[in-house]
Amino acid sequence: MIRPTAFALVALLALAACGKADPPPGFEGPPSPALFEISSPGGAVEGWMFGTIHSLPDGVAWETAALEGVLDRADLLVVEVRDLDDAPALRKAFTERAYTARQPPLTERVPAKARDDLSAVLAEHDVAADTFAGLETWAAALTLAQYAETGEAANGADRALISRVPREKVVELEGAARQLEVFDRLPEAEQRDLLAAVIADMARKDEDPLRHAADWYAGRIDHLADPATSAILGDPELREALYAGRNREWVAHLAALLEREPRPLIAVGSAHLAGEDGLPALLAARGYTVRRIQ
């Protein structure tokens, strides 16, 4: 059973204090982030899945009684990346892969039709174009996407859960280095498609900056895997490399984990729980019963 450490209890008090602040618009109702129960073909509860978000505005109190009950029953926490608070290691993993000399200007790495949107995005966020000098295209895309974040990474649900669990009880599916390698291995043409997709999604997000976080808070995840709502997932090659292919790799690991470990809580980005190629559907195809309980 996962038990909070003394340090995690301090973090919980801080979270509780944040929850007393007035929530931003869109977060006034009761929270209901997506939570699933996983049962074996014989009906025994084998574990749970929770859809996380990597950043949130201040004042959002999202933990629920249902999630607390799962945390009390789970024996292990499974996340995408465990060491989110190790900033030097994260920077090292990024810089070792992100830079190559003599990269062309960013404007030359997007289609002509996307250049006006790129200029608008840079101006909106007061970012100089030379910020991306030397960055490979995938790294420029990820860096640019960070400017669109409307919340704080310190408020991320993944960080909050990790802070509550002893390190030896936290298992990572990828880790920072391996996750970045997924992007680094993309052919340059796909990296440029990624950059264009990030720009398109940023332009769309600027119309309603908190919509994604508010949808997460209310448990509205079905649209996250819909190509119509994400330029990245609307690109077949990017969808395969960044979403569907990773989900298949993960589900093979998770199925083995469910067979040998007592009741893990699997906490990954909520988009990975949506759609026909999401983790619940893939586990169900392996004979598990996956039931949404929140």
Residue 206 pLDDT: 59
| Tally of CB atoms within 10 A around 231 | 20
| 10-residue averages of pLDDT along the chain (294 residues) | 42 41 80 96 93 92 96 95 90 93 91 90 85 92 86 90 93 93 96 94 74 91 84 92 95 92 92 94 96 96
Whole-prediction pTM value?
A: 0.87
Residues 6+ apart with CB under 8 A from 189: none
Contact criterion met (CB below 8 Å) for 47 and 258 = yes
45 token code pair: 């509860």
pLDDT score recorded for residue 212:
86
Torsion sign (Cα): 130, 135, 137, 139? negative
User: What does the DSSP assignment read for 40-70?
Assistant: -TTS-EEEEEEEE-S-B-TT-----HHHHHH
Where do the structural domains in the chain lie, given as residue ranges?
Answer: 6-292
Number of continuous H segments (helices) and E segments (strands) in the chain: 12, 6
What is residue 205's predicted lDDT score, i.e. its pLDDT?
A: 67
The pLDDT value recorded for residue 207 is 63
Given this model, what pLDDT does residue 224 score? Answer: 84
User: Which sign does the torsion angle of CA 96, 139, 153, 241 carry?
Assistant: negative
The pair of three-digit structure tokens given for residue 47, joined into one six-digit string: 């574990």
Distance of CA 75 to the CA centre of its chain: 22
Note the pLDDT of residue 143: 92
